[in-house]
């Protein structure tokens, strides 16, 4: 197994700054600060005041709220710095990032309640489960009104199709995709070789090899995955030749989710029927503890988790055994497969300042550009949302050093625009309903029928409760 070559954000950013400066004629550069700086709203406003007094008041200050910390925060800071030093310097725009605790909606919700635009951001990072918060909000600035227009440097065709569909309502783009990852099967190649089995392509194949792995290797379990909404949705939505619905109305993208479609279209029952084989194998752990460390220590033959864990597993496992990643096994052999794009997008808000909206769009376009997206390749395991990123030398070097990163991109492209996450109301409650039901099923304390009814009834109650408190606007 090849270890990841040295590929640092500082090196990549420096090279990109030189390239952008050459194209834009930007002047001197400042050193990128990639130490994961976290600023408060008060600090951001203070800095904004200082910036706006520079250049005879010509600088437009943009406030950007995000919920990225640790290495993700470092990459975010590097991206913002790169913008400020290139496009921002050329067009007199300065962006100040402000950290908000995940999922990043508390402060926005408070500001929305009183229409407090002074304490709102110009740009905010949101995950798909938070789209319902702003889909009908009057101050939401739709990316559809800007993208592909005159003077725009970004077009939908440059972005991963599933990511575009993920953040679209009625075919119109709300926010611009920013981060992306895919649900993958991680497997211990040494164990598979010892057991004399191949990487499974279907759940049935996976169930058959689990006992072989535990019988012929040091693995305690053949498979570890805790099935929450994220995992279940992927197995529902990757069924059929063109994907399937978890919730009705195209998973809430053409209207609101008011029904659990998978309980009616047969996909939930079909998945549980296949998963029963995994449960019956006796070699499956349905709960999750320290999955990264335990896989790296050889406790499992296979695990299922997001592609963003690739650098973590690489670091933990080192050269102790050979491992790789693959698409998650499908429910049926003829399913479309792949995975839906898990990640976040950048959304613009109208703070009654046209200059800020135009500046925000410049920033959002840049954050989805190949030059900004390639910085995710360092340590995060995120997949660049801009397909043209693959043309950059920095991307090619990163994939050469860590080929498993390319698998995540290929998996996301496999589902195309058909495999998209559901915009589920009452997301936290529904996630808990699914987890509790699937853990009980996996532990053998609930039958397939009990599990189906627990998911169906629990999710339907959660949806009803949500709309009782938040009626759909007529």
CA–CA separation, 460 vs 11, rounded Å? 51
CA–CA separation, 203 vs 209, rounded Å? 10
Determine if the peptide bond prior to 90 is cis (ω within 30°). no
SS (H, E, C) 124-183: EEEEHHHHHHHCCCCCEECHHHCCCCCCCCCCHHHECHHHHHHCEECCEECCEEEEEECE
Higher pLDDT, 184 or 19: 184
3, part of any domain: no
Domain co-membership, 382 together with 433: no
Closest to 364 (Cα-Cα) out of 103, 66, 119, 117: 66
* Helices 267-280 & 229-237 angle (0-180, nearest 10): 120
Encoded tokens for 212: 């072989």
92, part of any domain: yes
Domain co-membership, 197 together with 327: yes
158, part of any domain: yes
CATH of the domain at 173: 3.40.190.10
Beta bridge partners of 347: 124
pLDDT band for 378, please (50, 70, 90 cuts): confident
| CB neighbour class for 57 (10 Å; exposed up to 12, middle 13-18, buried from 19) | exposed
Domain co-membership, 159 together with 210: no
362, part of any domain: yes
Question: What is the DSSP annotation of 241-280?
Answer: TT---SSHHHHHTSS---S-GGGTSSHHHHHHHHHHHHHH
1, part of any domain: no
110, part of any domain: yes
Question: What is the DSSP annotation of 309-349?
Answer: GHHHHHHHHTTSS-EEEEEPPBSSTTS------EEEEEEEE
Domain co-membership, 25 together with 142: yes
Instruction: Yes or no: say if 11 and 76 are a contact pair by the CB < 8 Å rule.
Output: no
Domain co-membership, 61 together with 75: yes
> Residue 353: pLDDT above 70?
yes
Range of 146's domain?
9-181+342-414
28-50 pLDDT tens trace: 333 333 333 344 555 554 554 44
What average pLDDT does this structure show over 231-244?
Answer: 98
> Residue 11: pLDDT above 90?
no
Average of per-residue pLDDT values in the chain: 90
Domain co-membership, 302 together with 439: yes
47-71 pLDDT tens trace: 544 444 444 558 999 999 999 999 9
CA–CA separation, 386 vs 158, rounded Å? 6
pLDDT band for 474, please (50, 70, 90 cuts): low
Domain co-membership, 302 together with 441: yes
> Residue 176: pLDDT above 60?
yes
CA–CA separation, 178 vs 364, rounded Å? 9
- pLDDT at site 22: 37
285-319 pLDDT tens trace: 999 999 999 999 999 999 999 999 999 999 999 99
- pLDDT at site 150: 87
- pLDDT at site 149: 85
Residue 431's alpha-carbon distances to 94, 229, 415, 425, 437, in angstroms, are 39, 5, 23, 11, 10
Domain co-membership, 329 together with 237: yes
- Please identify, among 391, 414, 437, the residue that sits at the C-terminal boundary of a domain: 414
Domain co-membership, 168 together with 135: yes
401-428 pLDDT tens trace: 999 999 999 999 999 999 999 999 999 9
pLDDT band for 14, please (50, 70, 90 cuts): very low
Residue 319's alpha-carbon distances to 4, 206, 297, 315, 398, in angstroms, are 11, 25, 12, 9, 19
CA–CA separation, 321 vs 344, rounded Å? 33
> Residue 3: pLDDT above 60?
no
pLDDT band for 122, please (50, 70, 90 cuts): very high
What are phi and psi for residue 179, nearest 5 degrees? Answer: -125, 150
> Residue 444: pLDDT above 60?
yes
- pLDDT at site 57: 59
DSSP state of 416: T
> Residue 2: pLDDT above 80?
no
> Residue 81: pLDDT above 50?
yes
CA atoms within 13 A on the CB side of 327: 23
Domain co-membership, 211 together with 84: no
- Please identify, among 377, 394, 414, the residue that sits at the C-terminal boundary of a domain: 414
Closest to 323 (Cα-Cα) out of 351, 303, 345, 353: 303
Closest to 67 (Cα-Cα) out of 38, 98, 102, 34: 102
Encoded tokens for 109: 């919700």
For the chain, what is the domain count?
A: 2
Encoded tokens for 451: 């599990």
- pLDDT at site 398: 95
- Please identify, among 395, 414, 433, the residue that sits at the C-terminal boundary of a domain: 414
pLDDT band for 154, please (50, 70, 90 cuts): very high
Domain co-membership, 28 together with 96: yes
- CA 25, distance to chain mean position in Å, is 34
125, part of any domain: yes
419, part of any domain: no
- The alpha carbon dihedral of 302, 303, 304, 309 has a sign of negative
Q: Say what the alpha-carbon torsion angle 66, 70, 74, 80 is, to the nearest 10 degrees.
A: 0
183-206 pLDDT tens trace: 999 999 999 999 999 999 999 999
> Residue 363: pLDDT above 70?
yes
CA–CA separation, 80 vs 10, rounded Å? 13
Domain co-membership, 96 together with 236: no
């Amino acid at each position: 197994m090849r270890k990841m070559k040295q590929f640092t954000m500082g090196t990549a950013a420096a090279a990109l700054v030189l390239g952008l400066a050459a194209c834009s004629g930007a002047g001197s550069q400042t050193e990128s600060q990639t130490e994961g700086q976290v600023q408060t709203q008060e600090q951001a406003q203070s800095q904004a005041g200082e910036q706006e007094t520079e250049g005879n008041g010509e600088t437009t200050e943009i406030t950007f709220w995000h919920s990225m910390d640790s290495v993700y925060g470092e990459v975010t800071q590097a991206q913002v710095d790169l913008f400020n030093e290139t496009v921002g310097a050329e067009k007199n725009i300065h962006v100040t990032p402000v950290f908000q605790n995940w999922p990043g909606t508390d402060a926005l919700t408070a500001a929305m309640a009183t229409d407090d635009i002074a304490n709102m951001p110009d740009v905010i990072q949101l995950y798909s489960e938070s789209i319902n918060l702003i889909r009908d909000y009057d101050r939401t600035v739709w990316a559809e009104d800007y993208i592909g227009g005159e003077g725009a440097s970004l077009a939908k065709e440059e972005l991963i199709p599933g990511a575009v569909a993920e953040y679209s309502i009625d075919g119109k783009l709300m926010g611009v995709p920013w981060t992306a990852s895919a649900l993958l099967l991680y497997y211990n190649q040494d164990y598979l070789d010892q057991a004399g089995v191949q990487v499974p392509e279907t759940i049935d194949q996976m169930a058959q090899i689990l006992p072989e792995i535990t019988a012929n290797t040091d693995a305690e379990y053949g498979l570890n995955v805790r099935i929450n909404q994220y995992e279940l949705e992927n197995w529902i939505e990757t069924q059929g030749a063109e994907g399937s619905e978890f919730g009705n109305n195209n998973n809430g993208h053409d209207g609101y989710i008011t029904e659990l479609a998978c309980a009616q279209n047969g996909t939930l029952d079909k998945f549980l029927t296949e998963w029963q084989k995994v449960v019956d194998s006796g070699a499956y752990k349905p709960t999750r503890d320290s999955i990264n460390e335990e896989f790296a220590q050889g406790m499992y033959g296979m695990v299922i988790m997001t592609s963003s864990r690739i650098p973590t597993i690489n670091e933990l496992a080192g050269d102790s055994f050979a491992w790789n990643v693959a698409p998650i096994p499908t429910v049926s052999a003829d399913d479309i497969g792949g995975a839906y794009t898990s990640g976040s997008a950048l959304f613009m808000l109208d703070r009654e300042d046209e200059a800020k909206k135009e500046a925000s769009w410049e920033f959002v376009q840049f954050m989805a550009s190949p030059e900004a997206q390639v910085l995710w390749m360092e340590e995060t395991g995120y997949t660049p949302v801009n397909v043209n990123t693959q043309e950059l030398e920095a991307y090619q070097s990163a994939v050469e050093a860590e080929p498993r990163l390319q698998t995540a991109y290929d998996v996301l492209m496999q589902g195309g625009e058909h495999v998209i996450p559901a915009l589920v109301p009452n997301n936290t409650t529904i996630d808990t309903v699914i987890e509790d039901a699937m853990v009980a099923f996996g532990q053998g304390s609930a039958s397939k029928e009990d599990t189906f009814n627990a998911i169906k009834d629990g999710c339907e109650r959660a949806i009803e409760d949500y709309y009782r408190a938040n009626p759909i606007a007529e």
